[in-house]
Amino acid sequence: MLAWGRTLPPLVVGVVTALLAAAVLAAVHHAEVVAHRVGEPYGSLVLAVAVTVIEVALIVTLMIAGAGAAETLARDTVFAAVILTSNGIVGLSILVGARTGSAVSFNAEGAGASLATVVTLATLSMVVPSFTTTSPGPVFSPPQLAFAAVTALALYGLFVVLQTGRHRDYFLPVTGDGTIIEDQHATPPSAGATWTSLALLFVALVGVVGNAKLVSPTIERGVIAAGLPISVVGVIIAILILSPETVAALRAARRGRMQVSLNLAFGSAMASIGLTIPTIAVASIWLTGPLHLGLGANHIVLLALTCIVTVLTVVPGRATLLQAGVHLALLAAYLFLAVSP
């Protein structure tokens, strides 16, 4: 609040950036406390929604501020989140879980249902706009945008209801023979500590939004000065937001709870689309300029390849270091093409 409305020197920008990173870490920490209290799969849901709220807040804040990539910022950030989660978090989690040479196990039904939802949301929201003809370019017409927003929100809501209700067992960690692993970690926090973390989670989210608005011009200038495509701004935002989520997934994989890692990965991708698109649709009422949601040809190819590879990873219910290597290779290809399209 002290820095709003002022021209910030480089030193202050560095301080604000550090506070932004700290706010993100604090938000995820308090989300983890709440998650520990409510258990799985609710815990993964709390983390995914908390991270997505941060992402949506950042996107809307930057778009309102008139960022140079405002018309493509939502698409670039959401697509980066999908690739970073489906290839980065999944690949690294398998790598950590299978580090001793054995395969990791998870519930193929739960992982498959999550993946199917992610693929459907990504295709309807970011591939279809590239082929519609009502509006020129990779842009939805207002009725199409409204349909995509309602569909995304409804599909995400249906998934959450089934994940936490009728099909809850599909999303619990399992052993190699399919036996569900019961929670055996530390004693859950008290109700008072949980409510305190819930309140501090809200405070941290407000801090993220405020600090992001302050450093966004510096991020844009840095990307432009480096001669990189403006879409890299969306990649940076996604990396920043998903880094704590990645740490949480790797911790779960290290404890042999690969299903939790997949819940975090696919849940984040799903929430990123299912919550961002409806929010952007509402925000477009007062935002000026076109909203580009459709992906380019190279990104559509990467998304299709990611979907095929991930299906082959989750269907057997087991994965080895080979699958980790394939996912990480796709992640490397995406990052390389982001800076050298």
pLDDT computed for residue 307 by the predictor: 95
pLDDT computed for residue 154 by the predictor: 93
Smallest CA-to-CA distance from 92 within 238, 235, 258 is with: 258
Antiparallel, parallel or unpaired: β 104-105 and 318-319? antiparallel
pLDDT computed for residue 282 by the predictor: 86
Contact present, 90 and 245 (Cβ < 8 Å): no
Characterize 59-95 residue by residue with b for buried, 16 or more Cβ atoms within 10 angstroms of its Cβ, and e for exposed. Answer: bbbbbeeebbbbbbbbbbbbbbbbbbbbbbbbbbbbb
- Domains of the chain, by residue range, sit at 10-339
Q: What is the mean pLDDT of each run of 10 residues along the chain (341 residues)?
A: 74 84 81 75 70 75 68 87 94 90 87 94 94 86 92 91 81 69 65 87 80 76 84 83 81 86 89 87 79 91 96 93 96 93 84
The alpha carbon torsion through 17, 21, 27, 28 (nearest 10 deg) reads 160
Domain 10-339: assigned CATH number: 1.20.1420.30
